[in-house]
Chain A
């Protein structure tokens, strides 16, 4: 079942008199329960595509559908993000003053869940990412891999169906990276979510169901990750 989709999406930026077309007619879809890796050289438009799919940027042209609903130019993007999307960034962006659990709980507060339910959901997410015994640690007392787990717990909490991750392993060593990817795979399978991972990291391929490549704002024909490079 398709949960997020773009049709003929283009994105252009104006710089002085010139217009740069960063995305050029992207048709892409994400299914429930699958992990898709998005690969491409620097500047090819990966982050831009992720941002559009995550309703952070609006496309210059084309259509976006999230959970079956078309996101028009007047749509309340904040509301769509609150409801449907969890983000994981290369940088963890945790509030240094909040404990791991509080960082997750606060994100739920932002989404409108408060009090006991938010706290329990935050604890559940912490358990899911394997940080049961680090809940009350401040970010400065956590390793990079642990911080990224907190960020993942924050994205997972509230069970948004779509997870978008931009280079989640870029700041981690191979071993930690593999653990995070393994965690992602378990979570997506167990809770039937969808994950789009932007990456340069070759080991991501072995975790993905599909690999989508982008070059100069256009998608290339897909690779079967089983066949490999």
Chain B
């Protein structure tokens, strides 16, 4: 079969270029926007995902892991005595002010527990063992914090509130939605640092289940013993922390709008160039009809033109995004494009192109083969 669709496209190189660049633009925009969005969202729950807790006990109606409220630290005893609980520990998530060598101040989020390694926190670090944090006024700081703190090295000191603390380790991958610096210190250290707020207090309780324990049963029991707290599974708590940012920042809407605009641009460009091309070939399509070609036959040619534009455009749009990912990561941004989302965008692109080709269908259907006899 002579591939009229492909030859038609390649015959007008300029138009083909415009078409595929239009598609590529839409694809890049969507992949980039959604990738950044997912990257930010991933930050919002990355610590929750890494902490080896089956259940998170939070103060009543806590919107988000970063926004903690306090409750008496002794409640943890009630949890430890619930059958099926292997281990339960307090976790304080607190804001602290850090004075920088430059003299300016930055806020940081501090994660504080007593037994870091038991909870798998942090999960990637250089320097001393995390369990050494309890041995003195020590802190570990995540590498991404350098964006705001400026460069720092293990062994240096920084002033947290009014206290000089030694940096005994640098962690990787611990982040927050707002990209606020993340630090780790011992539970007692933070309680001493901010006694007004945290002495005898905690903000979360992490729970690890005994092997074979029934998660729902344990959760119900804890809930009944701690009526002023909420109990979440790790999954629920991570989802809730992400959902908070989607709703509260309107980011979901912005992203939806960008995706919509990207699709619109793609559809309009493909529809427009395909339609122009169809208009230019009316006589030839009329000839096909005179020869005996059906509308369906011509639709298939147009659809194929659209699909070819879609595939080429998708590749042109997607490849740079994937290639640029490391560069973006250097800029402190994370781009997350799950494979099935990439596939989804590809199918969406093809669907968009087919939809665009339909704009020309009516024109083709209206071609009167008698037209070709007219001079």
**Residues of A at under 8 Å CB distance from B?**
47, 50-51, 54, 56-57, 78-79, 81-83, 87, 89-91, 93-98, 102, 105-107, 109-111, 114-115, 118, 154, 166-167, 170
Quote the shortest CB–CB distance from B334 to chain A (angstroms).
Answer: 45
Q: Which residues of B (1-17) have their CB < 8 Å from a CB of A?
A: 1-2, 4, 7-8, 10-12
B292 touches A109 (CB 8 A): no
A-B contact pairs, 5 of them (CB 8 A): A81-B292, A91-B283, A91-B372, A93-B283, A94-B284
Of B2, B11, B287, the contact of A109 (CB 8 Å cutoff): B2
Give chain B residues whose Cβ lies under 8 Å from the Cβ of A93.
283-284, 286-287, 372
Q: Which 10 A-B pairs have the closest CB atoms?
A: A82-B292, A97-B11, A106-B2, A81-B292, A93-B287, A97-B7, A110-B293, A78-B292, A102-B2, A47-B373
Give chain A residues whose Cβ lies under 8 Å from the Cβ of B374.
47
Q: A91-B283, A98-B2 are in contact. Are A57 and B290 (CB under 8 A)?
A: no
Is B369 part of the binding interface, using a Cβ–Cβ cutoff of 8 Å? Answer: yes
- Return the CB mask of B44-80 against A: 1 if under 8 Å, else 0: 0000000000000000000000000000000000000
Of B1, B284, B291, the contact of A81 (CB 8 Å cutoff): B291
A89 touches B372 (CB 8 A): yes
B292 touches A79 (CB 8 A): yes
- Return the CB mask of B119-163 against A: 1 if under 8 Å, else 0: 000000000000000000000000000000000000000000000
B2 touches A105 (CB 8 A): yes
- Return the CB mask of B1-35 against A: 1 if under 8 Å, else 0: 11010011011100000000000000000000000
Known pairs A47-B374, A166-B373. 7 more at Cβ < 8 A?
A78-B294, A81-B291, A82-B291, A97-B10, A107-B288, A109-B1, A154-B291
Whole-angstrom CA separation of A110 from B290 in the bound complex: 10
A102 touches B7 (CB 8 A): yes
Whole-angstrom CA separation of A90 from B372 in the bound complex: 9
B375 touches A97 (CB 8 A): no
A90 touches B375 (CB 8 A): yes
Is B225 part of the binding interface, using a Cβ–Cβ cutoff of 8 Å? Answer: no
Quote the shortest CB–CB distance from A20 to chain B (angstroms).
Answer: 16
Whole-angstrom CA separation of A105 from B369 in the bound complex: 20
Is B328 part of the binding interface, using a Cβ–Cβ cutoff of 8 Å? Answer: no
Of A57, A91, A97, A111, the contact of B4 (CB 8 Å cutoff): A97
> Which of B287, B291, B369: most chain A Cβ within 10 A?
B291
